[in-house]
Amino acid sequence: MDELGAEMYSVHHADLVCSLYKLATNAGAQINFGSRVISVDNETATVTLGSGKTLKADLIVGADGHQSIVRAGLEPTRKEKLDINYTTYLFTIPASRFKDDQEIPRLLGDARWYMWMGFGWGMSMFGIRNNTVLSCTLFMNEEDVDVSVDWKSQVPVKDLGTEKLGLTPIKADSATRVKVDRENVPEYWYDSSGHVIVVGEAAHASLVGTVHSAALGIEDAAVLGRLLSKLKSKHEIKRFLSAFHEIRHPRSERLSASEQQKVDFITLPAGALSEARDESMRLQMNEGQGDWSASEDSFLTRSWEEFRDAFGYDAFDEADTWWVEWGVLFDRINGSDNSVEDDIFSGQITVERERHACTPSI
Ligand SMILES: Cc1cc2nc3c(=O)[nH]c(=O)nc-3n(C[C@H](O)[C@H](O)[C@H](O)COP(=O)(O)OP(=O)(O)OC[C@H]3O[C@@H](n4cnc5c(N)ncnc54)[C@H](O)[C@@H]3O)c2cc1C
């Protein structure tokens, strides 16, 4: 990560939400809690709230998650059933519960991600909140379980039967159990009138508990914000929405496919494939491929390219590159005089790239 210049944060979901809330409200955003949108009119760019109140905007950004009501209004949609055959269990454990443990405190001190793979399951672990808390994600191959559960579903960890997987008893109380099935994927993330766009999980399904699930939404926000900061007239909005789709769609597809592959790999059921997996990893370890300085060039190149693509991505740079390549060109073709419409930025808030410290509250 250092060599890529990549910023990688392992953050408690509650702390992330808290940081984003502070950033947005400090910048002037108004957040109305308990205001459910019950319908969206793309033509007039109007939303109706559960209270009956209507709100009109120049642009509606649907960041309303995997069951997005905004996405439902986008046409045409392509039917696509995600082939997810595993369930994700997420839980945190206070590190203090391991004070007499020989291994965990040492692993936490290394500031790395750890991964365990079994037959039909895989688990990752890393430290959060200055390593005072362990964050664990357990992927279980549960093909036969035909349920869709979201972040509100909690199960006692003692009911997971992890001893049967060969794990020592897990010192957590409860786990969040998530399995999200998504069928409708919009062909385009914006509507034909240029009044509506979807971002985050409203736009692209992410694989629960994988490295980029939340990061993809943050990257979306960075790219969309940067593009819209170049607006000179409301007539240009649709062009920028199309640019957003062009920049973000391939990346989310690529990352989702790569994350799906990784989860499939670590949750392989017992059999020839999982045996081959374990054997090849043993071989790699024995040949020093766990140690990059001793690895073969071809292995290094492959690994480097994969890491560079996934983690060396700079969302602001992507938006700037599009602007330099295409935005300026469009301006020239259209003979834009660089003047900005009077009210284009009225009421707009700006959140700059910044690091934000949030006091954790457990
Ligand atoms: C409660 C919760 C806990 C999570 N915990 C973890 C975790 O521990 N680890 C992890 O890896 N990932 C976690 N995630 C998921 C992960 O972070 C997602 O990838 C990320 O949250 C996606 O962000 P998003 O903004 O696209 O959608 P979401 O985070 O789902 O946000 C959508 C927002 O839109 C609101 N909304 C939806 N419909 C409407 C409507 N009709 N009107 C008004 N508002 C609406 C929702 O209330 C929500 O606030 C969690 C997600 C949630 C929702």
pLDDT in tens, 189-206: 999 999 999 999 999 887
Q: What's the rounded Cα separation, in Å, for the pair 353 and 229?
A: 13
Instruction: Flag the least confident range among 35-49, 267-281, 283-297.
Output: 283-297
Query: Domain coordinates of the chain in residue numbers?
Result: 13-80+183-261+314-333, 86-178, 268-310
**pLDDT for res 109:** 78
The residue contributing the CA closest to ligand 1 atom 19 is: 214
**pLDDT for res 288:** 63
**pLDDT for res 362:** 35
The CATH code of the domain at 13-80+183-261+314-333 is 3.50.50.60
- Ligand 1: does its nearest atom lie under 6 Å from the Cβ of 87? no
**pLDDT for res 239:** 93
Q: What's the rounded Cα separation, in Å, for the pair 75 and 190?
A: 9
Q: Which residue has the higher pLDDT, 195 or 283?
A: 195
**pLDDT for res 71:** 92
Give me ligand 1 centre to Cα 13, in Å.
10
Q: Which residue has the higher pLDDT, 78 or 203?
A: 203
356: confidence class by pLDDT, cuts 50, 70, 90? very low
**pLDDT for res 360:** 44
- Helical axes 213-228 vs 315-322, angle rounded to 10°: 40
172: confidence class by pLDDT, cuts 50, 70, 90? confident
- Ligand 1: does its nearest atom lie under 6 Å from the Cβ of 82? no
Per cent of the chain over pLDDT 70 is 84
Q: Which two tokens stand for residue 3?
A: 């060599």
Q: Over 50: is that where the pLDDT of 113 sits?
A: yes
Q: State the maximum Cα–Cα separation within the chain, in Å, rounded to a whole number.
A: 71
Give me ligand 1 centre to Cα 231, in Å.
28
- Ligand 1: does its nearest atom lie under 6 Å from the Cβ of 220? no
- Mean pLDDT for the chain? 84
Q: Which residue has the higher pLDDT, 247 or 140?
A: 247
Q: What's the rounded Cα separation, in Å, for the pair 312 and 255?
A: 13
**pLDDT for res 361:** 40
Q: Over 80: is that where the pLDDT of 46 sits?
A: yes
The residue contributing the CA closest to ligand 1 atom 52 is: 151
b/e string for 167-188 if b means 16 or more Cβ within 10 A? eeebebeebbbbbbebeebbeb
Give me ligand 1 centre to Cα 205, in Å.
12
Q: Which two tokens stand for residue 224?
A: 């969309």
Q: Over 80: is that where the pLDDT of 233 sits?
A: yes
148: confidence class by pLDDT, cuts 50, 70, 90? low
Instruction: Flag the least confident range among 16-25, 77-86, 129-138.
Output: 77-86
- Ligand 1: does its nearest atom lie under 6 Å from the Cβ of 62? no
**pLDDT for res 170:** 79
Do 116 and 122 contact (CB within 8 A), yes or no? yes
* Strand positions, DSSP E, 65-195: 77-79, 86-94, 114-117, 121-128, 133-141, 154-156, 174-178, 184-186
Q: Over 70: is that where the pLDDT of 124 sits?
A: yes
Q: Tens of pLDDT along 265-276?
A: 999 989 999 999
**pLDDT for res 307:** 79
Q: What is the pTM (predicted TM-score) of this model?
A: 0.87
Give me ligand 1 centre to Cα 65, in Å.
5
Do 26 and 349 contact (CB within 8 A), yes or no? no
The residue contributing the CA closest to ligand 1 atom 53 is: 151
**pLDDT for res 345:** 60
78: confidence class by pLDDT, cuts 50, 70, 90? low
Q: Nearest-CA neighbor of 131 among 93, 175, 157?
A: 93
Q: Over 90: is that where the pLDDT of 332 sits?
A: no
Mean pLDDT of 171-190: 82
Strand order in 54-56's β-sheet?
37-41, 46-49, 54-56
